[in-house]
Amino acid sequence: MPRITWFLVALLFVQIVNGQHVLVVGEDSLRIKTNPFILRNVPDSVQNKLPCWLDCYPNDYASHWLVDGECLYLTALTSCSEKNRQRMPLAQAFGDRVENNRVLADWFAGELVTATGTLVHAVYEEPVYDVETAYRFEKGRFVGQTVYDNSKTCVSAYENPKLLIPFIHSQIQWEQLPELDTEPPIRVMLSITTNKQGQRIRLFNYEGTVWGNEAIRVVSLLLPYWSVYYRQGEVLGHAYNIPVVFSEENRIKYATDR
């Protein structure tokens, strides 16, 4: 039977902090990034006895867990709703399976992925950490763990619009473009998409025009400096939308900066 490594003490207890699942390891409080209380895996005899608030978004409730020896136990379920904050008595759903105020989570098979490193960035409100640790369980028993290195994560300074917009428009070859006598201005929308296959630019409008081609050329200059995020050791797919505005106002403002 695998042993939990030295930094995982004999007891792991999941507590709630601001509506989030947290794994306390020794003196460290680790945020659990995967919700272990997966309703579809709960025994049928328990399913219809669970409170309706467990059907809500996972951050609307807290599940408290304990690893004692090499077994995973559920110790508490708590609603985090401001209007309906309550704790469910375990015996209500699990009956005589409750022993010493805990239930053996023998229905759970999967990983508890925790943030064990430094917060690097938040993508789509989901934090990115430079190190993550996944604890694996089969039928509620600990079977191993994996440490993921996300240290290759790189956050581009140009994600800041105050730097991005001036950079983009100062790189436009204004002198080679047609006269701008249109109102409203020509607004070209693009995105930089990053995934395991690499990075690419997607053009949403003005395809095949001088405006679209120039916007692609300018945004391409960002690629060597663009953000790459890692989660669980792999590149995290994400997209960043970028507007390029061709207007007489921008021509006057940025053409003189070249």
What b/e sequence results for 17-55 when a residue is b if at least 16 CB atoms lie within 10 Å of its CB, and e otherwise?
Answer: eebebbbbbeeeebbbbeebbeeeebeeebeeebeebbe
pLDDT at 217: 97
Distance CA 216, CA 203 (A): 7
In the predicted model, residues of the chain with pLDDT beneath 70 are 1-20, 23-29, 34-44, 47-60, 80-86, 123-125, 182, 256-258
Amino acid at 244: V
pLDDT at 124: 62
Is residue 114 within 8 Å of 30, Cβ to Cβ?
Answer: yes
pLDDT at 172: 96
pLDDT at 47: 64
- Tell if the pTM clears 0.85, that is, is over it: no
Is residue 136 within 8 Å of 36, Cβ to Cβ?
Answer: no
Distance CA 193, CA 195 (A): 7
At 42 the three-state DSSP class reads coil
